Amino acid sequence: MAAFSLKINGTQHEINVDPTTPMLWVLRDHLHMVGTKYGCGIAQCGACTIHLGDNAVRSCQLPVSSVGDQEITTIEGLSENGDHPVQKAWLEVDVPQCGYCQAGQIMTASALLKKNPNPSDTEIENAMNGNICRCGTYTRIRKAIKMAANTNQNS
Amino acid sequence: MTHIKTKLGRRAFIKNTSLAGGGLVLGFSWLNSCKPKGADAVAMELEMPKEWYEINGYLKIGDNGVVTIMSPNPEIGQNVRTSMPMIVADELEVDWKNVVVEQAPLNTNLYSWQVAGGSRSISSSWQNLRMAGATARQMLKNAAAQAWQVPAGEITAIAGVLSHEASGNFAGYGEMASAAASLEVPEEIELKEIADFSIIGTSRKNVDGKKIVTGQPLFGLDVQREGMLIASLVHPPAFGMKLKSFDAESAKQMPGIHDIFSIKLYDEDYKKNTFHFTAFNELIAVVGESTWQVFQAKKALNIEWENASDITETVTMFGNDMEVNFPAGMEDSETHTTKLKELVTSKGKVTRKDGDPETAFKNAAKIIERSYSCPFLAHNTMEPMNFFAHVTEDHAELLGPTQTPEWMEPAVSEVLGLPLESIDIQMTRQGGGFGRRLYGHFMVETALISKKMKAPVKLVYSREDDMTQGIYRPAYYATYRAALDADNKLIAFHVKGGGIPESPVFANRFPAGAIDNYLAEDFTLNSNITTGAFRAPRSNFIAGAEQSFLDELAEEMGKDPIDFRLELLKRAQENPVGEKESNDYDAARYAGVLELVKEKANWGQSEAGVHRGVSAYFCHDSYVAQVLDMVLENNKPVVQKVTAAIDCGIVVNPDAASNLSEGGAIDGIGHAMYSGLTFKDGAPEQNNFDRYRLIRHSEAPKSIETHFVKNDIDPTGMGEPPFPPVMGALANALYKATGRRHYHQPFITDKPPLVG
C-alpha cells in the first residue's frame, strides 16, 4: 500500500492503494467513478480509455504509481454538463446501442479531435481501431466524429 | 377505434395497483445509493412533481402532469427502454417531453414476458403496453367526467390535456391524476387507430443517452453499495475437468482478501431449468475488497483439477424434462471437424420430405453439392458477466444484467431455500446480451457467495473468465445439394445439417415449399462444451450457408440471384409444395423485401470495381434482404456499403431500428469474416481480444442504409433478423470480388475450398 495524490477532472484526490493497481480500478473501485469501463484488462478493447494529459490511454494498463502529477480526465470530467462537442454529436446521432463501450469511444474521439480537428476517414479509422463496439455502432461513431469536427470548425 | 377487453375471464391484464393495496410497483432507484455529482443532470431538465399517482403497473402521473412509464423488459442494447414506453405514451396521449422512464423490477403479477429473448420484447407486449396507456387515458377521462358532470365520451385527451368543448372545461393530466388513480379499471377500452399514432413510428432518442455519454452509473458492474465486497470465481481450465482440491492459504493472506472457498451450484439430484445452464458445478470463490486485489489473489491459488466423468442430467425446459449428456474427455476442434464430416455423409434424421428427392437426384443431369461450416463463438458482451446480491436469512436482493429474471428467480429461490416472494430481482442496463445473459448461473453464484459471506457482494467475471466459461454458439456443418435436369431446371433440393450439439436446419423455411422434391435432414454431435442461444440461434449460420448456396445455384442456372429467389418465392406463394401452413414463412412478404432492396440498391446498375452480393432471410417473424457492395483496396476486400430492406411490421422507433439494422450487418460481417473460438485439449484457445478477433472500426462498412416496408402489421422481431442474412451477402460479394467462393467461417482463415 502506498499513498497517492492524483489530479482527476481538476480535483485532487488522495488514495492509499497497492502501487500496481491500474488506474481503471482506482477510478472504479476506490473513487467510485464508474464511467470508465472494464472490458478486457489487456488494452485490446478501449472501453477503459481516459486522458492522461492530452493523450488517450488505456487505464487498465496504467499503474497508479506511474501517473505522478500528470492530469487525468475521465468521461465524467470531459465537460461540465455533458456538452462537449463529441458528447453532443453522440446524442444527436443517437450512437449507442447497449452503450457500454461508448465512454471509451468518446474519450478516444475527443483526444483525436484535440490533436487533429479535421481528421480524414482513414485518420478516424486509425485512431478508433483500438476501441471495440460489440453492438456494431461503428458507422454512427464515424458520423458523430465528423459532426463534432464540423462543430469545432464552425465555432 | 378498436375496443378491447382489459380482462380475460378472471385474468386482468391491467391492474390498478393503488386499489390492489400497494403491491411493489415502483422499485427504489438503485442509482440513489451511488449518485455522483451531476447524476441528476438529465432528470433536472424536467421539474419533478410533489406527488405521484399510480394509475397502473406501467405508469404513474405526477401532480404537474409529468408521467413516469415503467419499462418492463431487460435492456440489452435493443433499445426497449425507449421503445416500450413510447407505445404506452402514445396510447396515453401524452407529450413525450413529459415522460420519465424507469426500469421496472421483476414482477410476474404486473408484467408478462420480462425477457430479452427471441426478439419478442415488443411483439409480446405490444397489446399490453397499448392497453396500459389506453386504460389510463380512459380513467383520466372518467375522472374528468365526474368532476365536470359531463359524459366521458364527450371528453377529448390530447398531449396530456383533457377538454370538454361544450362546457369549456379543460385540465392537465396532473390535475385529474389523483381522482383517476382511485377509479376502477374500465372493463373495456378503446385503442387508437394506427393512423392516429403520434409517437409510435417517429424517431425518439435513447432515454439513457445523456447518462451514457457522461459516464453515469447504469450497468451491473457500476453497482456500488455500502459494505459491498467484490467476488470473482475460478473455474476449471478445460471442459471435461472438475475441481479436485485447492490450497488458498497464501492467497488468503494477500491484502484486501476476506475469504476463499468453493461453492457448489446445485446437488446432483437438482433438476435445472434450461436457463440455469452451466458447464461447471463447483467453482472457487475469491472474495475481497477490490476487483484488482481479488483478481491478483486468484492467480496465487494452488489448485488441482481432475478429469470429470460422463454426466447425464435432467433439465427442464418450459415444463418438459429432457436428458442432457456431457460426455467425459477433453475435446478439440480438429476432431470436431472430422466427426462432423463423417456424420454429414452418414444416415441423418429426416425432418421434411416433399416429392421423391432420391429419384430426382438419381435422374439429374447435374448435381451441385457444397459444404459449409462455422466455429463456436463466444458472445463477448462488452460488459463481462456480473451480478450483485445481498442475501440475508429471510430475503434475497439481486440486481444486475440478466435477460431472463423471470426464469432465473425459481432457480435462485430453490438454491437459497427461500420462497419466491422473498426474492427481489432488479435489472440494470446491460452492456450487451446477444443471448449470453439468458443463462443466469452468475445470479445463483452471486447469491450463494453473498449468503456465505453474510454481506452484499458483487461478482465480477474477468474477460478471460467470461470467454472461457461460455455458453457458446454451437459449431455447425451443413451440406447442400441441388439437382438440375437437362434443361438446367432445378428439380430437387437437399439440405443436411448438424452441429455440436444441435442441427441448424429449419426444415420448413425457404426454399421448402418452393421445390417439388425437397429433403431436409439433421444430425447432432454431443459434447461437454456448453452451448446455447446466440443472436438468432441456428439462423446465424444456416442463413449464410443457404444464401451462399442459392447464389451459386443461380449462377449455375444462368439466372440473376434476385430473380432466381423471386421465381422460387412466386412458386411458394401461388402453388406451394406441401401443406401451405407447413411452410414457416409468408412468401409475399419475403418477396417484398427482395423487391425493395432491388429498387433501393439500384440492383443491376453497379459501378465498375464494385462487387455486389445479395441475401434474404426470414426469422423471428421478420424479413430482411441485404445487398452488400465490396471493393478491393490493395487486394483487400472492403465493404463499402450495405443496403437493407426490412419488413418487421409497424416500426416503433425508426432511427433506433435502423441502428439495430446497422449493428446487425456489422455484427454479421464481423463474425463471418473474423471470429471463432477453437478448442485444444478441452480448453478454448482464445481467452481475450488479443487472440479472439472481433470486427473493428476500419473493417466495418463505410455506410449502411436501411429501408422499412410500410405496413400495418403488428410489430415482429427486430433485434435478431438483420444479423444472419448479411453473412450470405458477404460471401456472395467476396466471390464476385475475389473469384473464389468462401464456405468455411471465419472467411479470413478459409483455405481454398475442397470443392467448387
What residue type is B160 in one-letter code? G
Chain B residues whose beta carbon lies within 8 Å of the beta carbon of residue A63: none
Mean pLDDT of B387-403: 98
Helix (H) or strand (E) holding B231: strand B229-234
Residues A90 and A118 in one domain: yes
Structure confidence at residue B42 (pLDDT): 43
Residue of A nearest to B211 (CA): A82
Q: Where are the alpha helices (DSSP H) in B78-204?
A: 80-92, 121-148, 173-181
Minimum distance, in Å, between the CA of residue A74 and any CA atom of chain B: 9
Domain pair B220-312+385-460 / B347-377+472-749, same fold? yes
Residue of B nearest to A92 (CA): B205
Chain B residues whose beta carbon lies within 8 Å of the beta carbon of residue A9: none
Contact check, Cβ <8 Å, A98/B702? no
The x, y and z cell numbers of residue B92, run together, are 396515453
Chain centroid, CA B229 distance in Å: 31
Structure confidence at residue B273 (pLDDT): 85
Q: Is the pLDDT of residue B27 over 70?
A: no
Residues A72 and A8 in one domain: yes
Angle between helices A138-154 and A121-128 (to 10 degrees): 120
Between A39, A91, A106, which is nearest B382 by CB?
A39
The x, y and z cell numbers of residue B716, run together, are 415482429
Percent of chain B with pLDDT over 90: 87
Contact check, Cβ <8 Å, B215/A94? no
Residue B151: other Cβ atoms inside 10 A: 11
Residue of B nearest to A85 (CA): B213
For B347-377+472-749, CATH gives 3.30.365.10
Helix (H) or strand (E) holding B655: helix B654-674
Higher-confidence residue: B582 or B16?
A: B582
pLDDT confidence bin for B28, thresholds 50/70/90: very low
Q: Is the pLDDT of residue B29 over 70?
A: no
Mean pLDDT of B542-563: 98
Residues A32 and A71 in one domain: yes
Query: Residue A100: helix, strand or coil by DSSP?
Result: coil
Q: Does A131 touch chain B (CB under 8 A)?
A: yes
Q: Does A3 touch chain B (CB under 8 A)?
A: no
Question: For residue A74, what are the β-bridge partners?
Answer: none
Choose among B298, B303, B296: nearest CA to B285. Answer: B298
Contact check, Cβ <8 Å, B662/A101? no
Q: Are B257 and B288 in contact (CB under 8 A)?
A: yes
Q: Which residues 474-503 of B have a C-beta within 8 angstroms of A?
A: none
Choose among B347, B620, B674, B678: nearest CA to B500. Answer: B678
The x, y and z cell numbers of residue B565, run together, are 429467389
* Exposed e or buried b per residue across B312-344, where buried means at least 16 C-beta atoms within 10 angstroms of its C-beta: ebebeeeeeeeebebeebbbbbeebbebbeebb
Contact check, Cβ <8 Å, A98/B429? yes
Q: Is the bond leading into B511 cis (omega within 30 degrees of zero)?
A: yes
Q: Where are the alpha helices (DSSP H) in B246-352?
A: 249-252, 291-299, 333-344
Chain B residues whose beta carbon lies within 8 Å of the beta carbon of residue A98: 76-77, 381-383, 429-433
Q: Which residues 614-673 of B have a C-beta within 8 angstroms of A?
A: 655-656, 659-660, 662-667, 670
Which among A60, A77, A94 is the end of a domain?
Answer: A77
Q: Is the pLDDT of residue B751 over 90?
A: no
Residues A50 and A99 in one domain: no
Q: Does B216 touch chain A (CB under 8 A)?
A: yes
* Exposed e or buried b per residue across B89-123, where buried means at least 16 C-beta atoms within 10 angstroms of its C-beta: bbbbbbbbebbbbbbbbbbeebbebbbbbbbbbbb
Q: Is the pLDDT of residue A155 over 70?
A: no
Chain B residues whose beta carbon lies within 8 Å of the beta carbon of residue A50: none
Integer Cα distance of B59 and B14 in angstroms: 11
Match 442430467 to its residue by C-alpha cell: B313
Q: Is the pLDDT of residue A101 over 50?
A: yes
Residues A72 and A91 in one domain: no
Number of domains in chain A: 2
Query: Residue B117: helix, strand or coil by DSSP?
Result: coil
Q: Which residues 81-120 of A have a C-beta within 8 angstroms of B?
A: 81-82, 87, 90-91, 94, 96-103, 106
Answer whether CATH 3.30.365.10 is correct for domain B220-312+385-460. Answer: yes
Angle between helices A121-128 and A102-115 (to 10 degrees): 130
Residues A96 and A139 in one domain: yes
pLDDT in tens, B249-290: 999 999 999 999 999 998 888 888 888 888 899 999 999 999
Interface test with A, best of B202, B218, B382 (most A CBs within 10 A): B382
- DSSP conformation class of B620: T
Q: Does B698 touch chain A (CB under 8 A)?
A: yes
What residue type is B483 in one-letter code? A
Residue of B nearest to A63 (CA): B292
Structure confidence at residue B295 (pLDDT): 98
Q: Where are the alpha helices (DSSP H) in B305-424?
A: 333-344, 357-362, 405-416
pLDDT in tens, A16-30: 999 999 999 999 999
Task: Work out whether strand B636-647 and strand B622-633 pair parallel, antiparallel, or are unpaired.
Answer: antiparallel
Minimum distance, in Å, between the CA of residue A46 and any CA atom of chain B: 10
What residue type is A38 in one-letter code? Y
Minimum distance, in Å, between the CA of residue A83 and any CA atom of chain B: 9
Residues A70 and A8 in one domain: yes
Overall size of chain B counted in residues: 756
Chain A residues whose beta carbon lies within 8 Å of the beta carbon of residue B700: 136, 138-139
Overall size of chain A counted in residues: 155
pLDDT in tens, B165-206: 999 999 999 999 999 999 999 999 999 999 999 999 999 999
Kindly tell me the burial class for residue B355, based on how many C-beta atoms sit within 10 Å of its own C-beta (0-12, 13-18, 19 or more): middle
Between A39, A82, A139, which is nearest B214 by CB?
A82
Which among A24, A44, A77 is the end of a domain?
Answer: A77
Fold for B2-214, please state it. Answer: Aldehyde Oxidoreductase; domain 4 (3.30.365)
Q: Is the pLDDT of residue B64 over 60?
A: yes
Minimum distance, in Å, between the CA of residue B159 and any CA atom of chain A: 24
Structure confidence at residue B294 (pLDDT): 98
Q: Does A142 touch chain B (CB under 8 A)?
A: yes
**CB pairs < 8 Å spanning A and B:** 198
Chain A residues whose beta carbon lies within 8 Å of the beta carbon of residue B212: 96, 99, 102-103
Residues A72 and A105 in one domain: no
Which among A52, A77, A102 is the end of a domain?
Answer: A77
Match 423488459 to its residue by C-alpha cell: B73
* Helix, strand, coil fractions of chain B, as percent rounded to 5: 30, 30, 40
Q: Does A19 touch chain B (CB under 8 A)?
A: no
Contact check, Cβ <8 Å, A129/B34? no
Minimum distance, in Å, between the CA of residue A142 and any CA atom of chain B: 9
Minimum distance, in Å, between the CA of residue B484 and any CA atom of chain A: 40
Higher-confidence residue: B269 or A136?
A: A136
Higher-confidence residue: B484 or B270?
A: B484
Question: For residue B260, what are the β-bridge partners?
Answer: B286
Chain B residues whose beta carbon lies within 8 Å of the beta carbon of residue A97: 77-79, 659-660, 663
Domain that holds residue A32: 2-77
Structure confidence at residue B40 (pLDDT): 40
Mean pLDDT score of chain B, rounded to an integer? 93
Percent of chain B with pLDDT over 70: 94
Interface test with A, best of B697, B726, B727, B730 (most A CBs within 10 A): B697
Structure confidence at residue A113 (pLDDT): 98
Residue of B nearest to A105 (CA): B213
Residues A94 and A43 in one domain: no
Q: Are B450 and B223 in contact (CB under 8 A)?
A: no
pLDDT confidence bin for B112, thresholds 50/70/90: confident
Residues A32 and A48 in one domain: yes
Kindly tell me the burial class for residue A135, based on how many C-beta atoms sit within 10 Å of its own C-beta (0-12, 13-18, 19 or more): buried
Contact check, Cβ <8 Å, B291/A28? yes
DSSP secondary structure letters along B417-483: T--GGGEEEEE-B-S--TTGGGS-HHHHHHHHHHHHHTS-EEEE--HHHHHHS--BBPEEEEEEEEE
Chain B residues whose beta carbon lies within 8 Å of the beta carbon of residue A76: 36, 38, 214-215
The x, y and z cell numbers of residue B185, run together, are 379499471
Structure confidence at residue B278 (pLDDT): 87
Integer Cα distance of B129 and B91 in angstroms: 8
Helix (H) or strand (E) holding B499: strand B490-500
Chain A residues whose beta carbon lies within 8 Å of the beta carbon of residue B209: 90-91, 94, 96
In a 13 Å sphere around the CA of B699, the CA atoms on its Cβ side amount to 23
Residue of B nearest to A91 (CA): B209
Contact check, Cβ <8 Å, A129/B698? yes
Contact check, Cβ <8 Å, B214/A35? yes
Put the strands of the sheet holding B161-164 in their side by side order. Answer: B155-158, B161-164, B169-172
Residue B1: other Cβ atoms inside 10 A: 10
pLDDT confidence bin for B10, thresholds 50/70/90: low
Contact check, Cβ <8 Å, A99/B212? yes
User: What is the CATH number for A16?
Assistant: 3.10.20.30
Q: Which residues 321-380 of B have a C-beta within 8 angstroms of A?
A: 380
Cα separation values, B177 from B13, B50, B88, B171, B298, Å = 21, 13, 16, 10, 55
Match 396510447 to its residue by C-alpha cell: B91
Chain centroid, CA B110 distance in Å: 22
Q: Does B260 touch chain A (CB under 8 A)?
A: no
Domain map (residue ranges) of chain B: 2-214, 220-312+385-460, 347-377+472-749
Q: Are B101 and B390 in contact (CB under 8 A)?
A: no
* Exposed e or buried b per residue across B513-539, where buried means at least 16 C-beta atoms within 10 angstroms of its C-beta: bbbbbbbbbbbebebbbbbbbbbbbbb
For every residue of B577-610, which 3-state class applies, written as one string? CCCHHHCCCCHHHHHHHHHHHHHHCCCCCCCCCC
Q: Is the pLDDT of residue B33 over 60?
A: no
Integer Cα distance of B510 and B567 in angstroms: 12
Q: Does A57 touch chain B (CB under 8 A)?
A: no
Minimum distance, in Å, between the CA of residue B479 and any CA atom of chain A: 30
